[in-house]
Copies of this chain bind each other. A is one copy, B any other.
């Protein structure tokens, strides 16, 4: 039940249309909770029905026309209630770790290339986060909201750093194994 709350947060930061939300998800909130435009439109409909958001009055409320939403008091209350809820962390799901484990049984062929590819992707994501950190959180700004958002971004940064470090180590180990396969133990 996180998507509606992700949307409420985004809309509180700035009232937006469905497509604008989709784009903002691709750049910021979506780094921790991604969503496609179809999910977002559907969820906007539900949130509107529930009285948590409303469409800003517009001259031409028709298909193909931009429709902007803003959060109503009930939506803000729901979001606040959500932040205070007790909710256990969900176990991570990593197809890559799973595939490596499968490779332990059926062989590591092709794995090293795939790890290198993932390493490059995580390195790129890390660089992007570091750029965002520099641009959005210069040392002088320091409101409470800024500090919290910075904390969240630091989480993203350290997670990507974890992957970069782990993948680098994994590749060293795997290259060792593959060299041994080629030359014999």
Contact = CB atoms under 8 A, between A and B. Distances in A.
Interface residues of A, number: 72
How often does this chain occur in the complex, in copies? 2
Where chain A touches its partner, the secondary structure class is: helix
Interface in A148-185: 148-149, 151-152, 154-156, 158-159, 162-163, 165-166, 169-170, 173-174, 177, 180
A87 B13 CA distance: 34
Interface stretch (A16-24, A30-38, A60-68, A133-141): A30-38
Interface of A: 2, 5-6, 8-9, 12-13, 29-34, 76, 79-80, 82-84, 86-111, 114, 117-118, 121-122, 144-145, 147-149, 151-152, 154-156, 158-159, 162-163, 165-166, 169-170, 173-174, 177, 180
